[in-house]
C-alpha cells in the first residue's frame, strides 16, 4: 500500500497532483520513467510518468487529468489514503546529455512530465528554453516550477488569457527561425508532438517525444503498448516511453489510442462523467477529417 502524503487540485480541479510515499521507487527512478498504479484491488492499471521525485522524503509525484473512470477514482483519494499498488520505476530514463540549448515544449498534462526533464537538463548546465501552452490560463500547470529551471519561459494559451494567443508550435517556429537548438523535447497531446516533429524534421533538429499508449503489464509481455518507430515495432513500456519524434508513426498511435473509446465512454458515463478538455490541435485535425469529428479526444483515452 502506498500512502498519499500530499494532494493538490490544479487547473480548476481538472488535474490532480498526488505525492506518494514510495521510498524504493524514489531512490531508483530517473526523469522520463513511469509507474503503474491501481487505486484498489479491482482497479485498472494506469501508467503515469513521474512529475517529480524526492529521494530524501522517499516520495514520487504524479499529476493526472481527471478524464476517465480510473482517474475519477484516483481523484477521490485524499491525503492519508492509499494506492493499492505502485509498480516502478518502469521504462527507460531520459538520455540527453550536454546539448547546449534544449527547447522543452509541453502541452496540457505533458508539462508535468516535462518538468523533471527540464530540471535535469538545467542541472547538467544546458540552456533551457521552455514553451508551455494550454487552452486557457487556468489549465497552465507548474508555471513557477518550470520557470525556475528555465533560462527563458514562453507561455501561450488558445484564448490569450495568459501569454501569447497562439499554439506552442507557433512559438517554437518563431524561435527556430532565429536559432538552432541542440535538441527539442516535446511532451503533450499526440497531435502536438506530431506537429513539433513535422516542424523539426526538415531542419534536422533532434526531437524527443514521450509516448503514453494504452498499457497493461508495463513489462513488454502483453504487446498492448506497441508503437511503430522507424518502421520497427517497439514497446513503449520497455523501449520507451521516449522516442525519436522523427521516426514515430503518430497516425497509427492515434488510431490505437482510439481502440477502446466506446468502452471508455460507457465506463465514464457509468461513473457520472468528467469534464474533458480537448487539445486545439486535435480539434483542428478532427475538423479537417469529418470521420474524426466525433471521436473521443486522444488525451482522454490516454489518461482514462
By beta-carbon proximity to ligand FES, the closer residue of 182 and 220 is 220
Interface residues with ligand FES (CB under 6 A) are 215-218, 220-225, 235, 237
By beta-carbon proximity to ligand FES, the closer residue of 34 and 250 is 34
Minimum Å distance from CB 90 to ligand FES?
A: 9
By beta-carbon proximity to ligand FES, the closer residue of 219 and 266 is 219
Q: Which residues touch 299 (CB under 8 Å, ≥6 apart)? A: 65, 67, 108, 109, 189, 277, 278, 279, 282
DSSP code for 105: E
By beta-carbon proximity to ligand FES, the closer residue of 16 and 227 is 227
Minimum Å distance from CB 114 to ligand FES?
A: 22
CA 149 to chain centre: 18
By beta-carbon proximity to ligand FES, the closer residue of 176 and 222 is 222
Strand 242-244 versus strand 34-38 pairing type: unpaired
- Name which of 140, 107, 110, 145 is nearest 128 in CA terms: 145
- Which grid cell is 292? 474524426
282: left (phi over 0), alpha (psi -120 to 50) or beta: alpha
Minimum Å distance from CB 220 to ligand FES?
A: 5
Range list of β-strands (E), 158-222? 164-165, 183-187, 207-210
Q: SS3 of 126, please?
A: coil
Q: Is 192 exposed, middle or buried (0-12, 13-18, 19+ CB in 10 A)?
A: buried
Minimum Å distance from CB 88 to ligand FES?
A: 13
By beta-carbon proximity to ligand FES, the closer residue of 99 and 222 is 222
Minimum Å distance from CB 209 to ligand FES?
A: 17
Minimum Å distance from CB 303 to ligand FES?
A: 15
- Which grid cell is 4? 498519499
Q: Largest Cα–Cα distance in the chain?
A: 53
Minimum Å distance from CB 217 to ligand FES?
A: 4
By beta-carbon proximity to ligand FES, the closer residue of 5 and 222 is 222
Q: Please answer whether residues 265 and 255 qualify as being in contact, where contact means their C-beta atoms are separated by less than 8 angstroms.
A: no
Amino acid at each position: 500500500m502506498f500512502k498519499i502524503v500530499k494532494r493538490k487540485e490544479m487547473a480548476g480541479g481538472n488535474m490532480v497532483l498526488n505525492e506518494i510515499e514510495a521510498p524504493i521507487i524514489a531512490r531508483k527512478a530517473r526523469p522520463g520513467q513511469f509507474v503503474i498504479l491501481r487505486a484498489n484491488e479491482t482497479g485498472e492499471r494506469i501508467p503515469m510518468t513521474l512529475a517529480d521525485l524526492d529521494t530524501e522524503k522517499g516520495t514520487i509525484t504524479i499529476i493526472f487529468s481527471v478524464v476517465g473512470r480510473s482517474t475519477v477514482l484516483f481523484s477521490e483519494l485524499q491525503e492519508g489514503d492509499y494506492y493499492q499498488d505502485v509498480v516502478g520505476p518502469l521504462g527507460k530514463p531520459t538520455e540527453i546529455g550536454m546539448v547546449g540549448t534544449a527547447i522543452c515544449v509541453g502541452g496540457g498534462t505533458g508539462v508535468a512530465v516535462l518538468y523533471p526533464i527540464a530540471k535535469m537538463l538545467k542541472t547538467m548546465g544546458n540552456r533551457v528554453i521552455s514553451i508551455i501552452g494550454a487552452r486557457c490560463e487556468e489549465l497552465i500547470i507548474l508555471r513557477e516550477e518550470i520557470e525556475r529551471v528555465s533560462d527563458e519561459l514562453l507561455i501561450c494559451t488558445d484564448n490569450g488569457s495568459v501569454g501569447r494567443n497562439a499554439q506552442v508550435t507557433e512559438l517554437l517556429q518563431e524561435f527556430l527561425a532565429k536559432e538552432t537548438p541542440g535538441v527539442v523535447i516535446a511532451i503533450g497531446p499526440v497531435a502536438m508532438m506530431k506537429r513539433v516533429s513535422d516542424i523539426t524534421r526538415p531542419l534536422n533538429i533532434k526531437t524527443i517525444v514521450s509516448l503514453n499508449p494504452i498499457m497493461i503489464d508495463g513489462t513488454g509481455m502483453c504487446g498492448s503498448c506497441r508503437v511503430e518507430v522507424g518502421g520497427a515495432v517497439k514497446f513503449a513500456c520497455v523501449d520507451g516511453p521516449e522516442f525519436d519524434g522523427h521516426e514515430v508513426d503518430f497516425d497509427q498511435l492515434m488510431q490505437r489510442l482510439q481502440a477502446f473509446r466506446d468502452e471508455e465512454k460507457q465506463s465514464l458515463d457509468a461513473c457520472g462523467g468528467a469534464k474533458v478538455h480537448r487539445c486545439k490541435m486535435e480539434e483542428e485535425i478532427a475538423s479537417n477529417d469529418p470521420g474524426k469529428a466525433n471521436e473521443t479526444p486522444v488525451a482522454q483515452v490516454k489518461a482514462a
